[in-house]
Amino acid sequence: MITVREIDPHDKTGFDAWYDVLRAGAIADREVPIVFSHDAMANSLRTPNPLKTRLAVSAYEGERVVGALLFEYNLTTDFDAVAVEIDVLPAERRRGIGTELWGWARSRAASLGRTIYQAELAIPDGFTTETWPGSLFATKLGFAIEHVEDHLVVPLPYQHGVELEPLEGYELISWAGPCPEEYLPVYAELRTAMERDVPTGGMTREPKVWTVDELRETEERAAKSYLSLMVVARTPDGRPAGYTVMYLPLTDPDNAQQLDTLVLRDHRGHNLGAQLKVANLEQLAEHRTAQKWLHTWTAETNTAMQKVNARFGFVAREKNVEYELELPAPNLRPAARGVVLDAQDRILLMRFEFDGGKVVWAAPGGGVEAGESLREGLARELDEEIGLEVPADAPRIWHQEAVGHAYAGGYDGVINDYFLIRVDSFTPAGSLSDAELQAESVHGHRWWTLAELRAHQGPAFLSPRDLAYLLDELLRQGSPAEPRFIGV
């Protein structure tokens, strides 16, 4: 059985296993792949970012990670959107692992009130959107192609000479590392212009207006993983005209990245883009260590930059395809459940039997009725099912959102909030009769030890599927400060 849960990036074992699968899935069948290095991804996930939230999520079969999800969303723009990257070990594909990770992403997006899903796929030469596995999966989920870029590379050390006329009417300023304080206002203006100018096709994107403080913080974060090489063009009176930037990853010996190149509209037609690139290639020659490839990405529709890249010897090796899917906000039924633990740390579970023979062991509780609070609904449900009074201070420990019609009839899914209830000893006996409980699919109960949960192999399901892990975590660490988001 596949279980899905968010991992703590500070847990080295969990992070390493997640990253290894993410990387293996991302580079499979690609000749010139470029992905975040282990250290760059670790720095990104472990360092809080005021502009973006990133979450690492693993799919497990037993204790083995077989799939990885990178789930992210912006905090200052694009408030309706999330970005997802799903990678599955090549040998484990076509087993529903990607679908399980997608289900987690849908549920987490629903909890955030976000309805637009975005994904980016690198499709190497020899494949098309009709034959690449990731594209087929995205299409099956309903995603549509909204933007396509060429992923181009040139070998390093750079030996493709480019002849240029002497630069007149502009000054080029270069630096390596974070942007000097004196140039931050100019850089913020140029980055904002790039947000408005860069082709994005039909993707839902809100151009960001960069502030000096945001840019300073972003530069400091990037410096932990990359050496940035920057060239800015300005007029003799100090007005910005354009810029270009490269990244040299500190822990990736093979790849360098040519990122933004922008010439403001009033300054185009002077070969300024080529001048900026030549100046930064000179910086690259000075700072390069062992990098073998310089990568860049250019929209298929950006003919001007395509010509510049061809002039510099770049050759397209992949298509970078951006997909988007918008789904209506799901109508989820709210429910409250009790994690009832006795003095021996056994957990009380109810046996639910459904049409078709499916059996699920789940915590007591159920749907919250109109006008009820979560705690009021929990008190009513536990009185009916097991005859237990809910303490007023019972902590809310887990939050689950499951999107899918199978979870609650007449709804698009269910929201389960779990409350911890400790009892010394207790004999369940609710106010509803056995016949009344069976009418609600409840057919008995059982106390489970942690060892029994770990050993359970079915055919009945546990809900949540990761219950053994979650209970172990709860017993070791106690109630979380904030409810933990959990999978189905």
Domain for residue 125, yes or no? Answer: no
Is residue 149 a part of any domain in this protein? no
How many other CB atoms sit within 10 Å of the CB of residue 376? Answer: 14
- CATH number of the domain to which 40 belongs: 3.40.630.30
Residues 255, 196: one domain? yes
pLDDT at 223 > cutoff 80 = yes
The C-alpha angle 250, 251, 253, rounded to 5 degrees, equals 100
Among 172-176, 338-342, 439-443, the range scoring the smallest mean pLDDT is 439-443
- Look at residue 259 and tell me if it is in a domain: yes
Q: Answer whether 363's CB lies under 8 Å from 486's CB.
A: no
Checking if the pLDDT of 56 tops 80, the result is yes
Question: With 90 as the cut, is the pLDDT of residue 414 above it?
Answer: yes
Instruction: Please choose, from the candidates 22, 1, 15, the residue with its C-alpha nearest in 3D space to the C-alpha of residue 86.
Output: 22
259 and 350, same structural domain? no
Q: Which residues contact 176 (CB under 8 A, 6 or more apart)?
A: 227, 228, 229, 230, 283, 286, 287
What pLDDT score was predicted for residue 405? 76
CB 347 within 8 A of CB 421: no
From 485, 341, 476, 465, select the one nearest 401 (Cα to Cα). Answer: 485
Q: Which residue has the tokens 């409250």?
A: 336
Rounded CA separation 293/313 (Å): 12
* Residue 419 within any structural domain of the chain: yes
Q: Which of 274, 296, 318 is the last residue of a domain?
A: 296
Q: Shortest CA distance to 474 belongs to which of 363, 334, 379? A: 363
Does residue 368 share a domain with residue 231?
no
The answer to whether residue 183 scores a pLDDT higher than 80 is: yes
- pTM, rounded to two decimals: 0.93
Residue 123 counted as domain residue: no
Sign of CA dihedral 104, 109, 111, 112: positive
Per-residue DSSP letters for 312-360? TT-EEEEEEEEEEEE-PPP-EEEEEEEEEE-TT--EEEEEEE-GGG-EE
Mean pLDDT of 32-36: 94
The structural domain count of the chain equals 3
Task: Give residue-wise pLDDT tens across range 194-208.
Answer: 999 999 999 999 999
CB 335 within 8 A of CB 366: yes
* Residues 347 and 465 grouped into a single domain: yes
Is the four-CA dihedral 280, 40, 315, 266 of positive or negative sign? negative
Alpha helices (H) in 256-302, listed in sequence order: 272-287
pLDDT band (50, 70, 90) for residue 20: very high
Percent of the chain exceeding pLDDT 90 equals 94
Shared domain for 478 and 357, answered yes or no, is yes
Residues 337 and 281 reside in one and the same domain = no
Q: Is the pLDDT of residue 406 over 80?
A: no
Share of the chain above pLDDT 70, in %: 100
Rounded alpha-carbon distances, angstroms, from residue 15 to 20, 149, 484: 9, 31, 18
pLDDT in tens, 94-122: 999 999 999 999 999 999 999 999 999 99
Cα–Cα distance measured from residue 65 to residue 57, given in angstroms and rounded to the nearest whole number? 10
Cα separation, 193 vs 253, in Å, equals: 32
Q: Tell me, what CATH number does 411's domain have?
A: 3.90.79.10
Range of the domain at 60: 2-114
The answer as to whether 161 is a domain residue is no
Same structural domain for residues 285 and 386? no
255-263 and 293-299 strand pairing: parallel
3-state SS class at 201: coil
Question: Within a domain: residue 247?
Answer: yes
Asked if residue 179 and residue 90 are part of one domain, the reply reads no
Reference 361, options 444, 274, 254; nearest CA is: 444
- Write down which residue in 296, 315, 342 finishes a domain: 296
Is the residue at 140 inside a domain? no
Do 396 and 259 lie in a common domain?
Answer: no
Cα–Cα distance, 295 to 293 (Å, whole number): 6
pLDDT in tens, 76-88: 999 999 999 999 9
Report the distance separating Cα 334 and Cα 483, nearest Å.
Answer: 15
* The length of the chain, given as a count of residues: 488
pLDDT (tens digit per residue) in 343-395: 999 999 999 999 888 999 999 999 999 999 999 999 999 999 999 999 999 99
Same domain, residue pair 290 and 340: no
Among 114, 130, 156, give the residue marking a domain's end: 114
Tell me which residue of 45, 75, 47 sits closest to 57, measured CA to CA. 45
Grouping H, G, I as helix, E, B as strand and the rest as coil, residue 456 is coil
Pairing relationship of beta strands 144-155 and 315-326 according to DSSP bridges = antiparallel
Instruction: Tell me what pLDDT residue 356 has.
Output: 84
- 336 and 463 co-located in one domain: yes
C-alpha torsion sign, points 8, 9, 11, 15: positive
Q: Are residues 233 and 344 in the same domain?
A: no
Instruction: For tokens 């010439």, name the residue.
Output: 263
